[in-house]
A and B are shown apart, each in its own frame.
Chain A
């Protein structure tokens, strides 16, 4: 725009982020190489990586096992919820308010709540009868409770993001489609879904990356082994064994790389992210 309107701009925020996140990541990499030991002399070595190696493969698998189903489920449910909100009618406002409430719930509260619902001593098990037929969802062989908690919270996020992106102009689009003779089902699948897809994609990406890095939900609802990478990293970091600290850092680095790899499609699409670069012709 005009050169008169400079000002400090993005610099303070960017510098803070670079400093803090940069220091943290570099420190974590050097710790994994043995240069910041719990005690004793720093010695450059790959012992930490080698000690963590068997757990890293399991950790990657468990992290993906949690993140991918959670993302898919939250995308589908979120789209349905958005459809309800956009569709007008009596359900629209209560669902929107409920989505906002769920969005405000901290994940640690959500994990506690889902635990009290789905655990072996929880409400679900009691309703199902105490004959032991309730499947082990908390701490069971499949991270069912973890996936459900993440999907639950993130579906509200997806729904609200879709409503914000698609909302303006939604009614006109629906009316045009109806005028062209589309049935309600066709209007939903041929107009709403394609229009909402970019927003669903963006929200799902955020969900995926968040789920890969999430600690508290898996820690409270998951089983003791195998652990997703953030839980593994946290547990090893709290240990006082000398070799566990570099192993913890190795797990943290692996988790970060996994998140970056998962987000790479979006990073590659940056040139096309007009929404964020403030293009008024965008979906805002």
Chain B
């Protein structure tokens, strides 16, 4: 048995290494560029290492852009998560008479190209004079709600409605039953849903650029214009690194939280 397993394990190890290479390789040049002062073609390694790119990126407004990204992500998460939860509840617990309609409507923001919807809204909103930030948040919330809804629908499906009924039977009001009994049982899924909404808000490029009218400079917007035209590869790499680190850290954090909770999980209502 072990003789057959040996080469198989080697094979799987090689595949694993290949998989990690596939997943990690694109990010490698960014990391190298972010810490090089001069890396002229065709050298394989930078001629001068340094952190000049960080100063250039800071001059271009990177810290402020990241703060705006943070604000946008939090705003989208704050609005989209409750809306998604409510929609997920009616799907997961089959409270709706037209589940297909709800599912179809929730699919719509994922289907329509963001360029199209942003373009249409931009034309309308400029005439109405709605502030850009509000319009961007609104559109990103619409994009994020389906993710929150599907995540929480799956979680609600795993949580027996009897939980809420029992709480009501014990004298709790409808709101108390929902807030203090059901939702805490789905904590993990709520965190995941909020995380997804935050990622939508943080990572967005087209909507922020089009509807924001070029005035709302978030991390991705700054990166997009830097990558398209600045000529300073080090500053671009720094901007990219700064834009990618918070979401990655957040995802790893939630993953870590999810893992510890799973080890102490109770059968009811655990999600990942």
Contacts and interface: CB of A to CB of B under 8 A. Distances in A.
A-B complex is real: yes
Interface stretch (B14-22, B47-55, B59-67, B260-268): B14-22
Contact of A105 (B141, B178, B244): B244
Contacts of B124: 23-24, 27
A213 B112 contact: yes
Interface in B99-120: 99-100, 102-120
Give the one of A10, A27, A113, A219 with max B CB within 10 A: A10
B232 to A, nearest CB: 12
Main secondary structure of the interface of A (DSSP, over half): helix
Given A126-B43, A152-B26, A106 B110 contact: no
Interface string A244-261: 000011001101100110
A134 to B, nearest CB: 10
Contact of A77 (B22, B117, B236, B244): B22
B140 to A, nearest CB: 10
A106 B202 contact: yes
A176 interface: no
A112 B9 CA distance: 36
Contacts of A91: 12-13, 15-17, 19-20
Nearest to B82: A12
Contacts of B240: 109, 112-113
Given A277-B94, A284-B157, A97 B255 contact: yes
A21 interface: yes
A2 interface: yes
A108 B236 CA distance: 11
A14 B119 contact: no
Contact of B120 (A24, A105, A206): A24
A18 interface: yes
A230 B104 contact: no
B92 interface: yes
B241 to A, nearest CB: 8
Nearest to B24: A98
Interface residue tally on A, bucketed by range = 35 or more
B133 interface: no
B168 A4 contact: yes
B223 A21 contact: no
Interface in A10-59: 10-14, 16-18, 20-21, 23-29, 31, 36
A256 B29 contact: no
Given A12-B83, A24-B118, A130-B41, A164 B272 contact: yes
Interface string A92-132: 00110111111111111111111111000111011101100
Contacts of B123: 27-28, 31, 36
A5 interface: yes
Contacts of B170: none
B220 interface: yes
A75 interface: no
B109 A21 contact: yes
A9 interface: yes
Nearest to A214: B113
A162 to B, nearest CB: 14
A28 to B, nearest CB: 4
B138 to A, nearest CB: 6
Nearest to B153: A278
Contacts of B107: 263, 266-267
Interface in A41-86: 77, 80-81, 84
A114 B26 contact: yes
Contacts of A11: 86
Contact of A117 (B23, B25, B103): B25
Contact of A101 (B23, B89, B112): B23
> Among the interface residues B90, B248, B250, which one has the most CB atoms of the partner chain A within 10 A?
B90
Contact of A112 (B15, B20, B30, B95): B30
Nearest to A103: B251
Interface of B: 8-9, 12-13, 15-17, 19-20, 22-30, 32-33, 41-44, 83-84, 86-87, 89-96, 99-100, 102-121, 123-124, 138-139, 141-142, 145, 149-150, 153-154, 156-158, 161, 164-165, 168, 174, 178, 199, 202-206, 210, 220, 223-224, 227-228, 233, 236-237, 240, 243-244, 247-248, 250-252, 255, 272
28 contacts: A4-B174, A5-B174, A7-B174, A7-B178, A10-B90, A13-B87, A16-B145, A27-B119, A27-B124, A89-B9, A89-B16, A91-B15, A91-B17, A91-B20, A106-B243, A117-B26, A123-B28, A126-B43, A130-B41, A152-B26, A206-B110, A220-B228, A233-B115, A256-B116, A277-B99, A277-B100, A278-B94, A279-B157
Given A256-B116, A267-B104, 17 more contacts: A1-B161, A5-B174, A24-B112, A27-B123, A84-B16, A90-B13, A108-B220, A109-B30, A112-B236, A152-B26, A184-B8, A212-B113, A230-B206, A252-B115, A278-B93, A278-B153, A279-B157
